[in-house]
Structure 1
């Protein structure tokens, strides 16, 4: 084989990894081709077969570059168009962020190749799914976390969604990765193991359909009518000094159209002025009108503590009574600047309005909304399942407010809505979700959209919401079940590999490697 041909063959697995990562994006909203996620993971695993740990690291890294490069390229929009950065700086920082996040997938590939010493089925069925999900979970909390594009979100409209109320999004991710391993076995294994792989794949997906028929929570009283308002205020004018009156008027007009509802929800920082500045001219009269009409209003507003000079991203409930929640999980470089003393001049490049929020002191994400308690999240907080679930069992429904205008007309608003739907499904609660420019929605306890306002439309929408009680299995065990299973799979894979190596040492006979010619089906995708 010539040198050029040899190089072409050696680069093919890397291209395979990059392509599989890129194709995985099609499983997420707005595309929502949920079967492609498992197929892409099968291709990713194929790129790791016969690879050294070093090669596995780079193939995993390229998978991450493909997934994140196509999946979260919208980060550039907030940096360039609304963060007032030069385009080249925004693109550079976005590329560095993607390269850094792709390291999680690089270490996934490295560890799979490093530990895969067992029989042919251990890698795809134990080590690969377990390691993939453990690193996905690690990415969700390390250095404040970036839990975007978790594999389980691709299944919100598929059969595997039935497992979400039991094991959460990480449990669904584990089953997608396991399904990818089984699909790989359908292509690569001899006839009998191939049949077993097909049966296993079918059983997992059919069981998911059955689980979707289970009602995990029960009504806690009569339904009420909820409205979400979306004023579609352009991000470019939202924080302009003279925009406050115009913005308030837009929401007041939408509110008048929905006074027949029991609950009206405005988006995150719907009012761009601090609460104490608008309390007398706006909030107090609005609360009195809401009380007269018998409606509760929940609105996003920044809150200043004049004694300390700190300000918070707040969610205010008015009407029957007043309550306030301050955002606890802030967005790095968007709502606060981490490592300010070390980053120095780089911090000055971020000219993001209201980018020095303080973290709220609420112990749990609960808000009193009239006679009911709601589990609340502000924007990015709903991406953290372990934080949203803290509102249970008291919360009878969920509220999320957001401002995805930061990311323009991109994949971000669709992906964020998909995340919100998963939170409703995991916790067995309706969610009322209001956003500035879209996509606003009312979501039922099965994660289904029952009313929406499309992006970049000024409108409101109303639907019946049922307060619910009880706990899903996920609300009890949280992420421990999924991560515990993932770790158990890794340990089992290691033990089986050690036993296999022990047998080799004992009898001197070596079992054929996964890609051995004694398994002719492997030649189909072997490079």
Structure 2
């Protein structure tokens, strides 16, 4: 196949190819983790798109890719809608399709902008910039949806070395940038200068990534913290059944009492106690007494009732101090709150009565644990770098997340979430303590490596230790500013190339 083959391919065939490339996109992420696909698939898409001079057709290719990617990569949402909203599979699949149709807008816009305003090398330069800016915007607009962002694919790969410097969006920019360089080399395959320049550029990028990964911005502080993470494995169908509350509480209390003597922090998952704290004064009193005697801190996921305002919260029990709380700030739309409640509330409550009733928390984003500070997040929040950074900005020396992915059954959702959690540790160079209801319960090192974990869908306790880390990475200090500045510089460079052309 020659270099100019895309121009000779029928547009319908190119559109089908873009859709297939998008369907393969989730394979670059956990649990498959075929990270080279994060380069190969955009390379193929850009190769197809750069043959187009009509912006709407390039955008259509991007839309087909995006729709395939999100329809395949977030198909697990249909499991929740079918099992718990009692939608039939057709309707649940259609809801996933609506989400995919929305998310596909961003890669479509990236290809449209690149084709509309740039040509030649300037277009190839701007394709990665607009691609990742689209992901950055998608994580913010309408409360944000950061799933399947390119940078997460590199969590355990060489290019992940840029994470503490530029964050996952910067990593994504470099990753897709490699794809654009390969397209440039292919387009100029008969030019020795282009070939040598492309290879040299790739060697520089991967060399810089390895060098960047070797830099430590954080340092150990205090002694290692012994932790016990409890995985109750409570099915959602039982968790919110009032007749099973006593059994659920007994299961978790039994696991608490069985933790090793040297444990200093015992962590229970999100809403492990599926009942308001106001209904459990005696049990909480007993746990505070036990905590004081055994010198252990308990962190329990439990809904909080504050003057009939309800929060998805974590309650910290330290027998030597008053109760402390972390209230989830970044709520899941349609699950924990309902956008436009007057309009959409009746529809949501028809399928899932009682959902959407949580209020937004307002910090603090750290809790004191054994003389150190834990950066708190609950479930969905760990997917957002800006949410995790709030705890780091308040002095967190390790990250702590409680979650419940039982909603998504035996799907890839839990593995995708674990990969994003590992990226947060890598960006901040701080270990992560992660307790979930059905998995994946794990300890993640400050280098983003999953050390030990529990199998999914088992009841058990994960015992281990983490080393708290003080200090801030460039990303922890400045967030996405370095990435955005880099994007701006590339944009200015592209305009210079455009003017010269």
Give the 3-state SS of the residue equivalent to 1:243 in structure 2: helix
Unaligned runs of 5+ in 2: 1-6
Q: CA deviation at 1:205?
A: 1.5
Q: In the alignment, which residue of structure 2 is the partner of 1:378?
A: 378
Q: Report whether the alignment pairs 1:105 with 2:107.
A: yes
CA distance in 2, matches of 1:115, 1:136: 20
Query: How do residues 203-218 of structure 1 correspond to structure 2 at under 5 angstroms?
Result: 203-218=204-219
Q: Which one is further off, 419-428 or 253-262?
A: 253-262
Q: Report whether the alignment pairs 1:369 with 2:348.
A: no
Asked whether the 8 Å contact 2:428–2:472 carries over to 1, the reply is: yes
Q: Report whether the alignment pairs 1:226 with 2:221.
A: no
Give the 3-state SS of the residue equivalent to 1:311 in structure 2: strand
Deviations 1:414-447 (A, max 9, x none): 0000011111111111110000100010111001
Q: In the alignment, which residue of structure 2 is the partner of 1:507?
A: none
Asked whether the 8 Å contact 1:442–1:452 carries over to 2, the reply is: yes
Query: How do residues 118-197 of structure 1 correspond to structure 2 at under 5 angstroms?
Result: 120-124=120-124, 126-189=125-188, 190-197=191-198
Q: Report whether the alignment pairs 1:437 with 2:426.
A: no
Q: Which one is further off, 202-211 or 377-386?
A: 202-211
CA distance in 2, matches of 1:256, 1:353: 33
Match of 2:75 among 53, 73, 76: 73
Q: CA deviation at 1:127?
A: 0.4
| Structure of higher CA gyration radius | 1
CA distance in 2, matches of 1:169, 1:391: 18
Q: CA deviation at 1:96?
A: 1.0
TM score, norm. by length of structure 2? 0.94
Q: CA deviation at 1:248?
A: 1.1
Q: In the alignment, which residue of structure 2 is the partner of 1:55?
A: 57
Asked whether the 8 Å contact 1:378–1:400 carries over to 2, the reply is: yes
Give the 3-state SS of the residue equivalent to 2:242 in structure 1: coil
Q: Report whether the alignment pairs 1:11 with 2:12.
A: yes
Give the 3-state SS of the residue equivalent to 2:45 in structure 1: helix
CA distance in 2, matches of 1:92, 1:349: 17
Moved over 6 A (4+): none
Q: In the alignment, which residue of structure 1 is the partner of 2:3?
A: none
Query: How do residues 91-490 of structure 1 correspond to structure 2 at under 5 angstroms?
Result: 91-117=93-119, 120-124=120-124, 126-189=125-188, 190-260=191-261, 261-280=263-282, 282-305=283-306, 307=307, 309-319=308-318, 320-321=320-321, 322-343=323-344, 345-351=346-352, 353-362=354-363, 364-393=364-393, 394-490=395-491
Unaligned runs of 5+ in 1: 1-5, 501-527
Q: Which one is further off, 435-444 or 316-325?
A: 316-325
Q: In the alignment, which residue of structure 1 is the partner of 2:4?
A: none
Give the 3-state SS of the residue equivalent to 1:493 in structure 2: helix
Q: CA deviation at 1:66?
A: 1.6
CA distance in 2, matches of 1:366, 1:11: 53
Change (3 A) 1:437 1:12: same
TM score, norm. by length of structure 1? 0.90
Q: CA deviation at 1:386?
A: 1.2
CA RMSD of aligned residues (A): 1.6
Asked whether the 8 Å contact 1:274–1:301 carries over to 2, the reply is: yes
Greater RCO structure (CA 8 Å; 6+ sep): 1
